[in-house]
Structure formats: structure tokens, C-alpha cells
Amino acid sequence: MTEPILAIQNLRAGVEGHEILKGIDLTIHVGETHALMGPNGSGKSTLAAILAGREGYKISEGKVDYCGKDLLELAPEERAREGLFLAFQYPVEIPGVNSTYFLKAAYNELQKHRGQPELDAADFLVFVRERVKLLDLDDALLKRAVNEGFSGGEKKRNEIFQMAVLEPKLAILDETDSGLDIDALKIVARGVNKLKRPGNAQLVITHYQRLLNFIVPDFVHVLHDGRIVRSGGKELALELEERGYDWLTQEAP
């Protein structure tokens, strides 16, 4: 078996005085797509935020190994340079920061880290114009400020577009399907599927099974009250769709 990209062992974490993750174990290998499902408040987004390095959480126990490194020791920007990418549930609007400028800065940070040559403005534009087609995004968005005035769907597609530019090793999609209509959902899913490589992996966080019709996972995990209470193949998602979360959460020890 290949080396895991991500190995989470007994991760317990929360915010001051309130434990949210109560012992998570999850291992992801290259080439795999994992789905993390669960009811609201189960800790899905907290896990995504902790993996990406958002401040404000207290890790009380456990460890996270990412490509042989102690992930929790790395700053958010170092994680990104090591190939970890979080598609935000709520992408942030940043007035005044031009999208193309921002993406070029991010891309060149990665290039620098990989010891590859940085792209100048002209070359970068050629490169992003090609990538933007993948998401059926209007390339006028590239001239606008980051996410500013974007519709909900545009923001989500923009996240996947950034993923297409930065080509992460591990992409974490945090409820990328929420707020998308079926057409936008298909576009996003198609983009994600096209970005799948033998050498990378994806962790798809979602509340609903719907997205998983289009991004077909190898493994499905159900998170409830800060613990993974059930893991299985893609058929687990269908079962959840049929029976809801209750049968699992009530069965849980």
C-alpha cells in the first residue's frame, strides 16, 4: 500500500471550553476520494478549518501527519505550499485585491517553494485563461476584486478554479455544493473530477448525498458529535440518503 497523504490520529480539538472533535481517526492515500458526511454541528467544518490552519482552535490531543510532516506545526501558508488546499464554505470577499494579482502571488509562492521558475504577468494570464474555461467562469471575473460582488455560485466555482490553478496534493472541499443549483453543481463536480490525478487526493465534505452522484467517493465517513461513527464505500452515502442520519446517530455508542 502507498504512503498516506493524510493520517489523523485521535484528534481532539475545540474552542475555549468546548470540545468539538472528540477523537478523529482518518487516513487518506493518494488517488483516493473520501467523503465526510454528517448532520449540522457534527464538526465537519471544524475539522476542515483545523486542517487548513485557521486560528482560534485548541488542539488537546492527537496528531495529524501530512506527507510525513507534522501538519499542526505548519503555518497556514506553509500548508498551502505543501499542497494542501481548502475550498471554503464561505469564500471571503476581499475588496481592492485583484483576482489575477492574488492568484499570481499565490501561484508564485508555490513555484518558489517547489524550486520552479515564477511566472510573469503575461505568462500567468495565458495559464489562467486556460484554467478558467474548466469552470465555465467568465474571465471578466479575473479582473475583479477577489470574490467581491460574486454570486454564491460564482464564489464556489471560483474556489475550484483556484484549485485548478494551484493543483493541490490534497484538496478539502468544505460544503462546496451548498447554495448551488444543479447546473452549477455539475460544473463544479466536473472541474473537481478533471483535477483528479493518480498522485493527489480529495476530501469532500458535504451534508447531502447529491454531490456524490457527481463526485463519486471511494470512501464515505459519517461524522457525528465529533466522532466518525461509520465508514464504508460509496453505497453508504445512498443508504444515508434513504434513511437519514438518525439510524446512525441513534446506533452510535
AA identity, residue 46: T
Q: Does 52 bind other proteins (CB under 8 A)?
A: yes
Q: Which of 10, 41, 69, 105 binds other proteins (CB under 8 A)?
A: 105
Q: Which is nearest to 77 in space by CA: 119, 113, 27, 29?
A: 113
**Among the listed residues 75, 121, 126, 182, the single contact to other proteins using CB under 8 A:** 75
Considering the complex, state which of residue 19 and residue 109 has its C-beta at the smaller distance from other proteins. 109
Shortest CB 93 distance to other proteins, Å: 8
Q: Which of residues 144-163 bind other proteins (CB under 8 A)?
A: 145-146, 162
- Name the residue nearer to other proteins (CB basis): 54 or 194: 54
Name the one range near other proteins by CB under 8 A: 104-112, 194-202, 204-212, 222-230.
104-112
- Alpha helices for 23-173 (secondary structure H): 44-52, 76-81, 99-113, 121-133, 152-166
Q: Cell 483535477 belongs to which residue?
A: 195
Please choose, out of 95-103, 150-158, 208-216, 219-227, the segment that lies near other proteins by the rule CB under 8 A: 95-103
Least separation in angstroms between residue 146's CB and other proteins is 8
Query: Is residue 97 within the footprint of other proteins (CB under 8 A)?
Result: yes
Using rule CB under 8 A, residue 96 touches other proteins:
yes
- Taking residues 112 to 151 in sequence order and writing x for each that binds other proteins by CB under 8 A, - otherwise, the string is -x-------------------------------xx-----
Size of the site for other proteins (CB under 8 A): 30
Per rule CB under 8 A, is residue 216 in the interface with other proteins?
A: no
Name residues whose C-beta falls within 8 Å of residue 164's C-beta, 6 or more positions apart in sequence: 131, 134, 135, 191, 194, 195
**Apex 87 CA angle, 34 and 237, nearest 5:** 30
CA distance linking residue 33 with residue 205, whole number of Å: 11
Is 181 in a helix, a strand, or coil?
coil
Candidates 92-100, 125-133, 194-202, 228-236; binding stretch for other proteins (CB under 8 A): 92-100
Q: Which stretch binds other proteins (CB under 8 A): 90-98, 150-158, 203-211, 229-237?
A: 90-98
C-beta separation of 170 from 28 below 8 A: yes
Q: Residues of 136-147 as b/e, b for ≥16 C-beta within 10 angstroms? A: ebeeebbebbbb
Q: How far is the CB of 97 from other proteins (least distance, A)?
A: 5
Q: Which residues contact 122 (CB under 8 A, 6 or more apart)?
A: none
Rounded Cα gap, residues 250 and 223, in angstroms: 13
Residue type, 118: E
Kindly list the residues in this chain that would bind other proteins in the complex (CB under 8 A): 52-55, 75-77, 79-81, 85-86, 88, 91-92, 94-97, 102-103, 105-106, 109-110, 113, 145-146, 162, 166
